[in-house]
Structure 1
C-alpha cells in the first residue's frame, strides 16, 4: 500500500468527520479506521511526520476533537446516565457495536502515536483527556471484566493518555492533581490497577510514573490525598504479585515500571510517611509495610546510594534513624512475645498450648526484622572514608539500650526459642544438654535467616569500633555469638557469619580476647577414643 501523504490524510479525515454532526455512520467507519490505522503506523516511525501533522493546515486538532466528542457522546447515556448495575450485557448495548469499538481502538492508537515526543501535539491532544478518561472508566467496569476486546480498548486508551503527558511537566501536573482530587470511584488509575486482568496494570503504572518523574512535589502529593494512599496500596500489591515474573514478560515490565515509581518515591523522601500511613490499628506490622521493606532492601542492595551524590547521602542519613525506629519497635514486640512463650504455663492457664505459646503475629514480625536488619547492614557497610553511615548505625539507640546490646539480648532469646536445626533435627542446647521442648514453632516461615542476619548486623557494627566491642563484652555478647558458631539449616551460613562477627568483636581488643581465652572445652577425647567431660572447664551458657 502506498504511504499516505499529509495532505491526503487531512482531506480524507475532513471528508469522514467534517460533515458528521452526531456520530460516524457504520458505513463510513471501516474506511475511517483504515485511514487512522495506516497513518498511525507512519506516525510511529517518523518523528518529523508527527511534527508536520501537528502544525499542518487545515488543522488536525479540531477534527480529532470532534471525533473524540462524538464517540464519547455515543457512550455517555450509558456511562453517565445509567448505573453499571443496569447494564445488561456487552452484547445488548449500543456501546458494544463492533464498528464503534474498532473506531475507538483506532482513534486511541492514532492519538497515542501522534503525540509521542512532540510537546505541542501533546498540549493540543490534552483537550481530549476528559473523553479518554470517561471511556476508560466505562471499559473498566465489571460488565466488561471478561471481555478481551474491552480490555484491549481500555489498554490502548490508557497508552494514549500516558503518551499525552510523557515528559511534559505542565500536563503531568495538571492531570495528577486533578486525578488525586477525584472521588475514588472515578479514578481510572484505581480501576485499572484493581482489574483482575494483568494487561491493564502496565499502562496504568506508566501513567503514574510519567506523573511523578522529575518532581518531588508531585510525588509528595500521593500521601496528601486519600486516593494517593489507595494507589500506593495497589502499587505494592502489583509489585508483590509480579516480583518473580519471568524476564521479558509483560508482568516483568510492570514490575520494572512499578520499581521506577517506587524509586522516585524513595528519592523524594516519601517512603517514611508512607510506612506510617500503611499501618493499621493494633497491628505491629502490616503486609503492605512488609512489602515496602522488601523494596527498600532491594533498593539498598542494588547500590542505589552513591557516596559522591549529596542528595543520595542525605537520603541514606534519613534512612538510618527510620530503620532504627523500625528495628527497636519490632524487636521489642518480638522479645516480649518470645519471653511470654518461653515462660507460659498452659497447664495453669487452661489455654490451648498452641495458642498460649506463640503470638500469631510473631512470624510476620520476625520476617520484617530480617528485612530491617539487612537494610541497616547495607547502610553500615558503606566505606567509612566516604560516609558517616557506619557511625550513624552504631549510634542507634532506644531509651538506654544501644542497637548492639538489643541484638545480643535478642540472640539469647532466639537461641532458647528456636533450636538450631542440624540434619533435620533440633540440635542440643548451648549447654550441650538436651533442650527442653521449645514452643510451637514448627513452621519456619518468618524465622528463616533471623539469627544469621542479626549476627551479621552485630559483626558489621563491631567492625573497627571499640565502643561496640566493649558493650558486647559487658552484656555477654561474646558468649552469645560463640554459641552461634554452628550449623543451622534454618539459617544458612550462620556459622560463617558468627565466626566473622566474633573476629570483628575480638580484633584489637585484649579484654575481649581474654574472655575467649578463659573458656575451655567442656570435654576432650581420651586415649581410648572416648569423649570425656572436663569438670574444670568453663562452659558457654
Structure 2
C-alpha cells in the first residue's frame, strides 16, 4: 500500500497497510503531503474535528509521525503537528486519544529532534507546544500527563529557548496546567528558586511577548502569592568578577530583567486592581525596592523621556511608584478612616512611605512655573536660587503626588501625618501645569481634595496658610485657582476661579 503514495519513498514509512488505507480513505488522496493538508483543512471546523475523531484518525497520524525523519521531512512534521493541534481543539475524543496513545511522548521526541538550544527550530517547537496547550484544556488528567513528562527539566530547557514564538505557548501550557490543579502550582513554586519562571522572564525580557499567558502566570505567582521577592532577586545578573570586586553590588544596581518584571507587575496591578486582593508582604516588598532605587538613581540629570527609559534603575524607581499608586488607590476593607483596618496602606505607612515621599517632593526642584516666579524674585532681590534634585523621568513628580493623594483618600491617619510633617504647602504647590509632568495639576487637585475631606485640622491649616499669604502663589492664582474660606464655618477648599 505504501507504493500507492507518490512521495512515500522519501519517508521510509513503516505503517501497516490498514493504517495507510485509513489515511487514504479519509482524505481521498494518494500523496502524503496532500493527505495531511486535506486533513488539516477538515479539522479546522467543529464538524470536521468530530468526523475525524469518529474515524480515530489521531492514533494513526501519531504512528505516522514517529516514522518521519525531522532532518529530511520537516514539512510533514509541521503538517502533522497542525493536524494534532486542530484535532485537539475542544474535541474530547481526540484529546483522550492523544493521551492514551502517548501523544505527549511523541511530541516531546519531535521537540528534541528540532533542537532545544540556541539553534532550535522554533516553528516546530511552537506548534508542538500549541498541541500540548489544546490537550491541557481537557482537564486535570491531561494536565498531569503533560506535567509528569515535562516538569521540571523539559520546561526549564524550553524556557531557555530565547524566542517569542515559543515563550507564549509555553506560558499557556504551564498556566493552564497550574490553573487546573493546585497541586501542580505548588510544584511549580516549590521547585528551588523557581528556575522555570526565572528563565521564562529572562526570555520574555529579551524577546518580548504578545499573548497574556505570561501576565497571568506572573499575576498568580507574584501578586496573588508570595514569590515576587524571590523572582525579583533571581533576575539580578552580574558578572562573577564584579561580584568579587564589590560584594555589596547587589544592593546598588538592578538588571534589565528586574526592570522588565517590575513593568509587567505594574501593568497587572493597574489592570486588575479591582479584582486582586493585594498581599501586604507584596506591597511592602515593592516599597523596599522603591527605597533601594532612590539610593541608586542619579537625580542630578533631568530625564528626557517617560517610562520606560534606557536605565534599569530609573525604570524600577518609576514602576515601583506606579505599583504603589495603584495599590494605595484601594480603600481598607474594614473602614478607611481606621488605622486598624485591613489596609495595606497601614503597613506602608508604618514603614515610612509618606515620610519618604514628602522628603522626595521637597528635595525636587520646584515645577517650572514656580521656578520662573522664583527666578523673577531672585533677579529683583538678588537672592540665590537653590536648584534641588531633578525628575529622572517625565512624570516622576506626578507619580509621587499620585501615591500621596491615593493614600490620603478617606484615611484620616494619612491626612494627619501629611499635616504633621508639614506637607500641606508642598502638596498645594503641585496644583500646577508642568510640561515635565503631564497631569500633575489634576493629581495635585485630587491630593488636596483628599487631604481636606473630613479633616477639620487640615482645613484649618490651609486657612492659616491663606491668611498668612503662604498660598497666594503664582502657580495657584495664575491658573485660576484659589483657596476659598467659608466665612461661617471657616473651612477651606481649593476652587477654580473661572467657574465662579
TM-score by length of 2: 0.69
1:406 paired residue among 349, 356, 374: 356
CA distance in 1, matches of 2:62, 2:214: 32
- Cross-structure match for 2:177: 211
1:222 to 2:207 alignment: no
SS in 2 for 1:395: helix
Distance (whole Å) between structure 2 residues aligned to residue 137 and residue 427 of structure 1: 69
* Residue of structure 2 aligned with 1:64, choices 61, 64, 72: 61
Residue segments in structure 1 that go unaligned for 5+ positions in a row: 1-14, 22-28, 76-94, 243-250, 307-311, 343-359, 526-541
Structure 2 Cα separation of the partners of residues 143 and 241 of structure 1 = 13
Question: Given the superposition, is the C-alpha separation of residues 341 and 455 from structure 1 closer, same or farther in structure 2, using an over 3 Å criterion?
Answer: closer
Instruction: State the partner residue of 2:108.
Output: 133
The alpha-carbon deviation at position 18 of structure 1 amounts to 0.8
Partner of 1:521: 469
How far apart in 2 are the matches of 1:179 and 1:155?
A: 15
Aligned counterpart, 2:81: 108
Q: Structure 1 residues 131 and 366, CA, compared in 2 at 3 Å: closer, same or farther?
A: same
TM-score, reference length from structure 1: 0.64
> What's 2:267 paired with?
298
Query: What are the Cα deviations for residues 236-262 of structure 1, in whole angstroms up to 9, with x where unaligned?
Result: 7537855xxxxxxxx6xx333333444
Aligned ranges 1:290-369 → 2 under 5 Å? 290-303=259-272, 305-306=274-275, 312=276, 315-316=277-278, 318=279, 320-331=280-291, 334=294, 363-369=314-320
In 2, are the aligned partners of 1:449 and 1:492 still within 8 Å (CA)? yes
Aligned to 1:173: 144
Work out the CA distance in 2 between the residues paired with 1:380 and 1:300: 15
Rounded to whole Å, the distance in 2 between the matches of 1:218 and 1:123 is 20
CA deviation map 1:104-152 (0-9, x unaligned): 222222222233323342233230322322222332456866xxxx554
**Contact 2:81 2:131 (C-alpha < 8 Å) held by counterparts:** yes
Tell me the SS of whatever aligns to 1:17. Answer: coil
Contact 1:296 1:375 (8 Å CA) reproduced = no
Shift of 1:200: 3.8
- Whether the 8 Å CA contact 2:167–2:203 is kept in 1: the answer is no
Pairwise CA distance, 1:189: 4.5
Change in Cα spacing, 1:321 to 1:267, as seen in structure 2 (3 Å) is: closer
Distance change >3 Å, CA 382–CA 489, structure 1 → 2: farther
Write the mapping of 1:269-284 to structure 2, written as runs, cut at 5 A.
Answer: 269=225, 271-272=227-228, 274-278=230-234, 280=236, 281-283=250-252
Partners in 2 of 1:295 and 1:464 — Cα distance? 29
Judge conservation of contact 1:205–1:257 (CA < 8 Å) in 2.
yes
- For 1:27-66, list aligned pairs within 5 A: 31-47=31-47, 50-51=49-50, 53-54=52-53, 56=55, 60=57, 63-66=60-63
Q: Does 1:17 align with 2:21?
A: no
Give the gaps of 5 or more residues in structure 2.
1-12, 20-28, 237-249, 301-310, 474-500
C-alpha distance in 1, partners of 2:315/2:216? 27
Name 2:128's counterpart in structure 1.
157
Q: Deviations over 1:285-340 (max 9, x none)?
A: 5433433333333333334534xxxxx5xx33x1x442134214523652x568x9
Change (3 A) 1:118 1:234: same
DSSP-derived class of the 2:212 partner: helix
1:266 to partner: Cα distance: 5.5
Deviation by residue 1:390-442 (Cα, 9 ceiling, x = unmatched):
8614412476x6433332223222x2xx443459x877489976533556x5x
Q: Distance in 2 between matches of 1:384 and 1:460?
A: 15
Q: 1:514 to 1:109 in 2, by over 3 A?
A: closer
Partner SS, residue 456 of structure 1: helix
Contact residue 105 and residue 149 of structure 2 kept, 8 A: no
Q: Distance in 2 between matches of 1:467 and 1:507?
A: 12
Q: Partners in 1 of 2:447 and 2:393 — Cα distance?
A: 20
Answering whether residue 436 of structure 2 is matched by residue 490 of structure 1, we say yes
Map 1:468-507 to 2 at 5 A: 468-507=414-453
Provide the rounded CA distance (Å) in 1 between the counterparts of 2:74 and 2:188.
34
Q: In the alignment, is the contact (CA less than 8 A) between 1:331 and 1:369 conserved in 2?
A: no
Report how many aligned residue pairs link the two structures: 421
Check 1:174–1:201 CA distance in 2 against 1; reply closer, same or farther (3 A cut): same
1:420 aligns with 2:420: no
Is contact 1:420-1:427 (8 Å) kept?
A: no
Preserved CA contact (<8 Å) 1:158 1:204: yes
Deviation at 1:523, TM superposition (A): 11
**Contact residue 452 and residue 492 of structure 1 kept, 8 A:** yes
Q: 1:389 to 1:328 in 2, by over 3 A?
A: farther
Distance 1:20 1:66 in 2: 12
